[in-house]
Structure 1
Amino acid sequence: MASRRQFLGGLVVATGALAACKEIAPGEGSGERTANPDATALDAEALEDALVGSSYLGTGGGGGLEEARELIAKDLAAGLTFSMVPVTALSDTDRVACPYGLASLADTSEEMQARLDAIENRVEVPVQAAFEALEKHVGQKFAGVIMGEIGPLSLAEGLATAARLGVPALDADTVGRAVPEINQHSVKVAGIPLTPIGAATPFGDEMIVGTLGDPTRAEDILRSIAVVSRECGVTDSPITGAQAKQEGTLVTGSLTLARNIGAAVREAKAAGSDPIEAARVAGDGYLLFTGTVASTEWKDEDGFLQGKVTLSGTGDFAGQSFETDVKNEHLVARRDGAVIATCPDLISIIDLESADGIVNPGYENGQSVAVLGFRSDPIWRSEAGLAVFSPRYFGYVLDYVPIEELLG
């Protein structure tokens, strides 16, 4: 994905799809933004470590690493400052929320394109506008930004939004990795409504989705806005500090984990040791395979990047084959035909030359790679988590078995 949930496309706006939205009255919202004394500054090195680490945790999704680096470099050059804060530092009455961007992948008709071209683009950063619109609606300044998912560009956009707003990023996200769908959202799995949801377009439109008759309607409604606007900034889950601190609401410590993996890679490179092994140790993961890219298959189906990556083994895996099934991210991995890892556990393919995680579909035949696996957060191993993030949810006739059990 180019960024969190930018798999959206191909949707014709349904009659009444925006009925759940209401305009925001001018002057709504109040409160002052206050600094959190427990926030930790993130310098250029810490940010680079986080981005590299997120390429390992992104499981082939979450947007490109180079684009993420460019975004952070631009904001640093502009003098923005970055910080993060642990969930435990929130007061019970604080509020935090999750901002992200949606882009429509649907083809735009000539008539619609002409209409959009005739409207002034009044908002440079719709995600920021959605965040501020939701603050106005709830009448409280948010104390921090929840990362939507852990993947390079998704993480960079969350960090950048926090920096532009002058608030810390929470050391937590809603997944612990990158994912294909909005249904893989820890707040939703915890039974907490995603509403109210703020939405904004480049054209100055600001909306609030106040309530949802069914939680799955969030995706349909927000898709609708993205389709008729090219893109849409969204902020959901305006939860309280008390809710954020409840076990199972968020994947906590995920930004720190990304930083630790990235730092291990950087330090191993400097020392002339194996950076991928260092990342495996830092993430307490598993080496699943080493090899070269033999072939890839890709198609765009209903706005999702779907396909397969096939590897030929080298080193300890010489003579063996490996393949992963992809729906934006790696979902199922097989070695010599036997399943060795599935979602919600993490499957990541790493470029041996750069030691960066590879974002789908960025492979070249003959490219030397390693495959790492990591355990998912316990949230996803619960009954509610597996209901929306097991192999069977994605149509496989496979029960989820934890990676550590599959590997014996």
Structure 2
Amino acid sequence: MRKIGIKEIEDIATGAALLGAGGGGDPYVGKLMAIGAVRDCGPVTLLDPDEVPDDALVVPIAMMGAPTVLAEKAVGGTEYQKLFDMVSNFFGKKIYAFMPIEAGGVNSMLPVAAAARMNMPMVDVDGMGRAFPELQMVTFTIGGVKSTPMALVDEKGNSCIFETITNKWTEELARSVTMSCGGSVSVSLYPMSGKQMKEFGVRGIVTRSERLGRAIRTVKDSGDQTPEEHFLEMTEGYKLFKGKISDVLRETRAGFNFGKAVLDGIGECKGHQACVEFQNENLAVVVDGEIMATTPDLICLVDTETFRPVTTDAMKYGKRVMAVGMKCFHLWRTEKGLELAGPRYFGLDTDYIPLEERCKGGI
């Protein structure tokens, strides 16, 4: 158990944006929500999963929608209490703690803001260890946990509770309502017991985000290493490509950001070209026609000078970035994990090959 204050929020937001693999919304927007809540209501208690009773009701809280919309249509202020009341009334017991459902700029911060406003603890665990675009893509689905009852509320006060036959159906129905509500809503889903959370959750995600954010903030204080070497060592990342963004094709469709970015090589990658495909999150990196990494491994773009994450909605012509690969949580490499979030699910014509094997030959 420890406290999360403004200093910790700064680092968590940066590190979570990196783990968001390009998605999860603008880290600046999420950070403002969390800092405002902590300033008004005080720091948040962060619990280790083992500190939560097995029979406690633990609920992830998040925003659903396209990241480009999240940046302009944030939380109105009454959503946290509404979600708390809807879920507590449904189960006839109060929620013990909130938790993030994924890492990402907004969805790592929303539970911090909600916990502060509601004077509740937050658990150091999530359901992805990264960010994914569809709500059934969580480790809890692999473990057989139902996504419903799922509470949904928009900033105008419209609300509903879903009960569905599969987690995929929850995604389909909730996405339709999200579009009707303007492309962005607040949700509470995968209500679970403390026991289920401990068994299937990705532990230590908030602490890992904070550690990564601190590494990025202090990347220039790297001693004998170059900042790039220090960054790759601290993140355990694989350098995939370094280039200047020469083209970005992006569209918001069905509540997702779809598109690709073209990178012209710079430095040691000069003369080569890479393409990064994304659906909210980065899905694949292809260099000179050769696939270097695919989902569910993390593909992150970072600024070549500051090493701060560049999200898919922040990609702009002329920006110099380094594409970095990071290993995903081990459950994503299982058969069930690849069915949920492997390359073929997203229409990529390739089987999953672990990042470390694809990168053996280099560029």
Give the letter aligned to residue 132 of structure 1: D
**1:127: how far off?**
4.2
- Relative to structure 1, the CA distance from residue 215 to residue 75 in structure 2 (aligned partners, 3 Å threshold; closer, same or farther) is closer
- Relative to structure 1, the CA distance from residue 303 to residue 196 in structure 2 (aligned partners, 3 Å threshold; closer, same or farther) is closer
> Within 5 A, what are the aligned runs for 1:2-401?
39-103=1-65, 124-209=77-162, 211-230=163-182, 231-246=184-199, 249-270=200-221, 274-401=226-353
Root mean square deviation of aligned Cα: 2.3
Partner of 2:72: none
**1:63: how far off?**
0.7
User: Does the 8 Å CA contact 1:292/1:312 hold for their aligned counterparts?
Assistant: yes
The 3-state SS of whatever aligns with 2:166 is coil
- Relative to structure 1, the CA distance from residue 363 to residue 274 in structure 2 (aligned partners, 3 Å threshold; closer, same or farther) is farther
- Relative to structure 1, the CA distance from residue 254 to residue 303 in structure 2 (aligned partners, 3 Å threshold; closer, same or farther) is same
The 3-state SS of whatever aligns with 2:313 is coil
Give the letter aligned to residue 325 of structure 1: E
How does the TM-score come out when normalised to structure 1? 0.80
The range that moved more, 60-69 or 74-83, is: 74-83
Give the letter aligned to residue 278 of structure 2: V
Distance in 1 between the 2:252 and 2:161 partners?
31
User: Does the 8 Å CA contact 2:222/2:230 hold for their aligned counterparts?
Assistant: no
Distance in 2 between the 1:324 and 1:228 partners?
30
How does the TM-score come out when normalised to structure 2? 0.89
Give the letter aligned to residue 96 of structure 2: A
Give the letter aligned to residue 54 of structure 1: A
The 3-state SS of whatever aligns with 1:78 is helix
The range that moved more, 277-286 or 123-132, is: 123-132
**1:103: how far off?**
4.8
Unaligned runs of 5+ in 1: 1-38, 106-122
The 3-state SS of whatever aligns with 1:299 is strand
Distance in 1 between the 2:241 and 2:154 partners?
43
Distance in 2 between the 1:125 and 1:280 partners?
41
User: Does the 8 Å CA contact 2:80/2:118 hold for their aligned counterparts?
Assistant: no
User: Does the 8 Å CA contact 2:129/2:205 hold for their aligned counterparts?
Assistant: yes
User: Does the 8 Å CA contact 1:99/1:131 hold for their aligned counterparts?
Assistant: no
Give the letter aligned to residue 233 of structure 1: S
Distance in 2 between the 1:220 and 1:262 partners?
34
Q: Could you list the per-position Cα deviations for residues 312-354 of structure 1 after superposition, in whole angstroms to 9, with x for gaps in the alignment?
A: 2222222222211111111011122111100000000001233
Structure in which a larger fraction of residues adopt helix: 2
**1:104: how far off?**
8.3
Give the letter aligned to residue 239 of structure 1: M
Instruction: Say how many residue pairs are matched.
Output: 351
User: Does the 8 Å CA contact 1:133/1:206 hold for their aligned counterparts?
Assistant: no
Q: Could you list the per-position Cα deviations for residues 122-145 of structure 1 after superposition, in whole angstroms to 9, with x for gaps in the alignment?
A: x73324411331022212222221
The 3-state SS of whatever aligns with 2:106 is helix
Give the letter aligned to residue 319 of structure 1: G
**1:75: how far off?**
2.1
The 3-state SS of whatever aligns with 2:350 is coil
Q: Could you list the per-position Cα deviations for residues 339-374 of structure 1 after superposition, in whole angstroms to 9, with x for gaps in the alignment?
A: 110000000000123321011132232222111110
Give the letter aligned to residue 159 of structure 1: V
User: Does the 8 Å CA contact 1:265/1:276 hold for their aligned counterparts?
Assistant: no
**1:228: how far off?**
4.3
Distance in 1 between the 2:244 and 2:160 partners?
48
Q: Could you list the per-position Cα deviations for residues 259-280 of structure 1 after superposition, in whole angstroms to 9, with x for gaps in the alignment?
A: 1111111222356875454332
User: Does the 8 Å CA contact 2:9/2:35 hold for their aligned counterparts?
Assistant: no
* Pair member with larger Rg: 1
Aligned-pair identity (%): 27
Q: Could you list the per-position Cα deviations for residues 182-206 of structure 1 after superposition, in whole angstroms to 9, with x for gaps in the alignment?
A: 1212212211112222233445455
Give the letter aligned to residue 330 of structure 1: N
- Relative to structure 1, the CA distance from residue 278 to residue 53 in structure 2 (aligned partners, 3 Å threshold; closer, same or farther) is farther
The 3-state SS of whatever aligns with 1:264 is helix
